[in-house]
Amino acid sequence: MRSAPRNCLSFVCVWTQKPGDNSESFLAAYREFFEAHKGQATVTIDHVQQKLPRDSCADPLWQVRCKLQLDSSLSLNQLESLSTDIARQWCTAGRSSFGLCSPLQWLQPDRRHGFWHGFFAVETNIKMRSISFGTFAGLNLFAERHCIGGQSTHDDYCVDCTFKHGERILQVFVELTHRSTCEVKQGKELYQLSMHYSNIFRVVVHDPVGGPTDVFLHLHTVPLFRRVPDIWECHSLNSSRWTRQTRRDRMNFQRTLQIGCACCSVLKSEDVGGCFVVKLGFSDSHEARRTVGRLSRKCKRPWFEFAPVSTHTVGRDADGLRQRLCERLEPQIGFACCYALNALLQKSDDIAMQLMLLMSEQFDAVLRDLESFAAQNESALEVTLFTIKTALENHSIVTFCTVLPTLFARICRTHVPSPVPRGSCLVRRVFVTPSHIFYMPPCYPCRKQSASQV
């Protein structure tokens, strides 16, 4: 049954503002953009709304709905094509015209008419240029911690994906070809990263005109690494009567703590424990748009945005930053604040990446603030750091250098340290896993529990 023609297309523009910015300047930029790409349509921009933050320390988000009233009715396929063209122009104009200071940040197309709506239960062998792990700093900057494939690892890795839309599962396969000079092993190895669609809470698409398409998946948890032991010794699975995907489904993938080999590059699970954004670099842009459309039909809760995203390669420098922070601040602030700071830095790479992208003067100013706040009210600073950590756990967007002094001043006005009950003590628990360290907030032992003071 063919859908009825429609003559209206809508988008939601989402942005953050720096102190001193005016919403009117953003509205002017949006009107200019849609007027330039509207075609035969009338542009209507609604009133600006501020999204209520889930956490008190989250960056405020503003949004406005922009409507295109077309002069003639279009079919669903024509609306989807027009929406895609506008979204791609958004990604192109956002980077070429304004750079990192672009007012064109997130563009949310209408879920009913803005994506390709054809459906396949399974998409196999979707080729990728690379797969990267990192985090977002703001809305438009991806800080890349590690990358598999692409120019960084040359031809040692081959990456492809299987989207099982019927089962709502994404599988990423990484095939490693050992170099001829490798002293450890010869031949190939196959790795897998599997994630359920329910693990995705946001999808950001960077799809500029004439450029490669990248899809950024914001995840609740980092997927586990799995590997097939001695894959090429399983002769029965290489039978021609099975397809490539059937053979993979029958393989016994087992948990592993690293991907790669010393002959090329090694990625350990502990290196990506704080990276909650996975970047899929599609080889075919048209294939990427179809896949995103199918994904949007099976992921109802996550936001789907188009954005002009810039990628900044960070590498392993985040580990050195954590060490420098501890070496400088430990002698200046007390144990409680050191513990809270480590809890914040180990929760994810968000704060570490933000600090790395700061100018040296701004970075030193943040350190001075931490030292000053600890000397002023150590207990309030501890609460401040754990409050920011909770906001990150709730996937809020937090700019650390901006929110730290504001939140600390607010907490200082009302915070009263809780006295330790008689016969009890404050307990801080640390959980260590192969890929992550969890610093739990301080608490008092519950009933029927005992704690020993060392």
Would you say 16 and 397 are in contact if contact means Cβ atoms under 8 Å apart? yes
At residue 430 the predicted structure's pLDDT band, cuts being 50, 70 and 90, is very high
Q: Check whether 325 has a pLDDT greater than 60.
A: yes
Confidence of residue 153 (pLDDT cuts 50, 70, 90): very low
Q: Which token pair is 335?
A: 């144990």
For residue 224, the tally of other CB atoms under 10 A from its CB is 16
Instruction: Please give the pLDDT value at position 266.
Output: 87
User: Quick one: pLDDT at residue 1?
Assistant: 39
Cα 347–350–352 angle (5° rounding)? 90
> For 306-319, how does the pLDDT look when each residue is reduced to its tens digit (9 = 90+)?
999 999 998 877 77
Look at residue 449 and tell me whether its pLDDT is greater than 80: no
The token pair that represents 226 in the structure block: 């799995």
Q: CA-CA distance, 293 to 322, in Å (whole number)? A: 39
Chain centre distance of CA 127: 21
Written as one string, the DSSP assignment of 95-152 is HHTTGGG-S--EEEE-TTTSS-----SEEEEEEEEEEEEEEEETTTEEEEEEEEEGGG
At residue 446, the pLDDT reads 59
Residue 232 is predicted with a pLDDT of: 53
Residue 34, Cβ neighbours under 10 Å: how many? 21
Q: What is the mean pLDDT of residues 61-66?
A: 94
Residue 159's beta-bridge partner residues?
A: 128, 174
CA gap 390, 408 in Å, rounded: 15
- If you search the block for the tokens 């409680």, which residue do you land on? 336
Distance, in Å, from the CA atom of 279 to the CA atom of 214, rounded to the nearest integer, reads 7
* Residue 75 DSSP class: -
Does residue 159 contact residue 149 with C-beta atoms inside 8 Å? yes
* Residues in a beta bridge with 64: 13
Task: For the chain, give the mean pLDDT.
Answer: 85
Cβ-contact 70, 7 below 8 angstroms? yes
On the CB side of 4, CA atoms within 13 Å amount to 3
pLDDT at 79: 85
The position carrying tokens 């890349």 is: 144
Label residue 282 by pLDDT band (50, 70, 90): very high
Alpha helices by DSSP H, listed for 348-419, are 350-356, 360-376, 378-393, 400-414
Q: Which of 362, 288, 3, 299 is nearest to 123 (CA)?
A: 288
pLDDT bucket at 231, cuts 50 / 70 / 90:
low
C-alpha Rg value of the chain to the nearest Å = 25
Strands 213-219, 437-439: pairing is unpaired
By the 8 A CB rule, do 186 and 194 touch?
no
How many CB atoms are closer than 10 A to CB 367?
15
- pLDDT at 111 (0 to 100): 83
Average pLDDT rounded to a whole number, residues 252-271: 88
Residue 63 host element (H or E): strand 61-74
Phi-psi region at 174: left, alpha or beta (left = phi > 0; alpha = psi -120 to 50): beta
d(CA 412, CA 418): 14
